[in-house]
């Protein structure tokens, strides 16, 4: 899954793809480099980010989606917490909705997704992005994330989302400490026992910067590669990344290592 942020303030690539044609070119490039899914986001959910009004998010996302959809048959995902944005995105041709709040920010989003019968990525997070990193605390992060994601799965099923259309994300960096992120990557086999595909987003994140002492997110290619390889070895099904060409190589090699002849 290639990341396409059309925001001015995302943690790594904010402001780089604000122009519609530039965003479309970058999406097509990522597809050439090996991405199978493009995830379009119009609201930054980095730590400390403030909520963006739905009309602003729509102005950022829909023109890009409408311009990109006729040019590719690849899976197009929209990263949003709002039912109004999800509805407009699905009408404009989105295939997936990726919600970092798993439907807790706007419960109506679950019904929107269910009615559209699209794939839904439910991510684990504690708290709103503006404050989620203030004082996160877990006794057993893997157990707690599994329990809390299980509750969101129940909410999704109750809203009418089909089990075959659910994808789960442990939410690396969303209300998590360094040790929590590492525990969740090690604990991916436990998350796999929930019975749903697992999506993981580790690309360029701050825990990699902490471990490597690399301050600039775009310079964390090596650390990201290591984390992506670990996720593949742990059973992750979808990897959400910025540097598609390099990470496609990582995924191919790591996958070959775990595959039994």
Residue 116: closest CA among 98, 90, 92, 77 = 90
- CATH assignment at residue 107: 3.20.20.20
Query: What are the C-alpha distances in Å from 125 to residues 8, 34, 48, 150?
Result: 23, 28, 14, 13
Structure confidence by residue, pLDDT tens digits, 194-251: 999 999 999 999 999 999 999 999 999 999 999 999 999 999 999 999 999 999 999 9
Residue 12 lies in a domain: no
**Strand spans (E) along 101-243:** 119-123, 166-169, 199-200, 238-239
| 131 C-beta neighbours (distance < 10 Å), count | 12
Residue 213 lies in a domain: yes
Judge whether residue 11 has pLDDT over 70: no
Residue 43 lies in a domain: no
Exposure string for 5-15, b = 16+ CB within 10 A, e = fewer: bbbeebbbbbe
Residue 38 lies in a domain: no
Per annotation, catalytic residue among 46, 126, 204, 205? 205
Structure confidence by residue, pLDDT tens digits, 91-139: 999 999 999 999 999 999 999 999 999 999 999 998 888 777 888 999 9
Phi, psi of 128 (to 5 degrees): -75, 155
Residue 253 belongs to what domain range? 74-258
Residue 20 lies in a domain: no
What is the tally of structural domains in the chain?
1
> Positive or negative CA dihedral for 251, 97, 49, 128?
negative
Judge whether residue 6 has pLDDT over 80: yes
| Dist. CA 57–CA 54, nearest whole Å | 5
- For this structure, is 16 an active site residue? no
The pLDDT of residue 129 is 82
Whole-structure pTM over 0.85, yes or no?
A: yes
Tokens coding 62? 């829909």
Residue 249 lies in a domain: yes
- For this structure, is 205 an active site residue? yes
Per annotation, catalytic residue among 81, 82, 152, 240? 240
The pLDDT of residue 14 is 44
Residue 62 lies in a domain: no
Residue 4 lies in a domain: no
Judge whether residue 188 has pLDDT over 50: yes
């Amino acid at each position: 899954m290639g990341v396409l942020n059309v925001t001015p303030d995302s943690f790594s690539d904010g402001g780089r793809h604000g122009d519609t044609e530039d965003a479309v070119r970058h999406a097509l490039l990522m597809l050439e480099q090996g991405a199978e899914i493009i995830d379009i986001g119009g609201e930054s959910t980095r730590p400390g980010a403030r909520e963006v009004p739905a009309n602003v998010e729509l102005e950022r996302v829909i023109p890009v989606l409408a311009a990109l959809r006729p040019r590719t048959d690849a899976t197009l995902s929209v990263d949003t917490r709002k039912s109004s944005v999800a509805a407009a995105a699905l009408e404009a041709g989105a295939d997936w909705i990726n919600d970092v709040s798993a439907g807790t920010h706007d419960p109506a989003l679950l019904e929107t997704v269910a009615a559209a019968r699209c794939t839904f990525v439910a991510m684990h997070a504690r708290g709103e992005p503006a404050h989620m990193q203030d004082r996160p605390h877990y006794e057993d992060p893997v157990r707690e994330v599994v329990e809390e994601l299980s509750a969101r799965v129940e909410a999704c099923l109750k809203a009418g989302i089909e089990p075959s259309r659910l994808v789960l994300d442990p939410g690396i960096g969303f209300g998590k400490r360094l040790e929590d992120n590492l525990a969740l990557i090690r604990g991916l086999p436990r998350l796999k026992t929930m019975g749903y595909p697992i999506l993981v987003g580790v690309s360029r994140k701050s825990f990699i910067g902490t471990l490597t002492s690399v301050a600039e997110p775009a310079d964390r290619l090596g650390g990201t590669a290591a984390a992506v390889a670990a996720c593949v070895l742990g059973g992750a099904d979808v990897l959400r990344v910025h540097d598609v060409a390099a990470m496609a190589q990582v995924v191919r090699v790591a996958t070959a290592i775990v595959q039994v002849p």
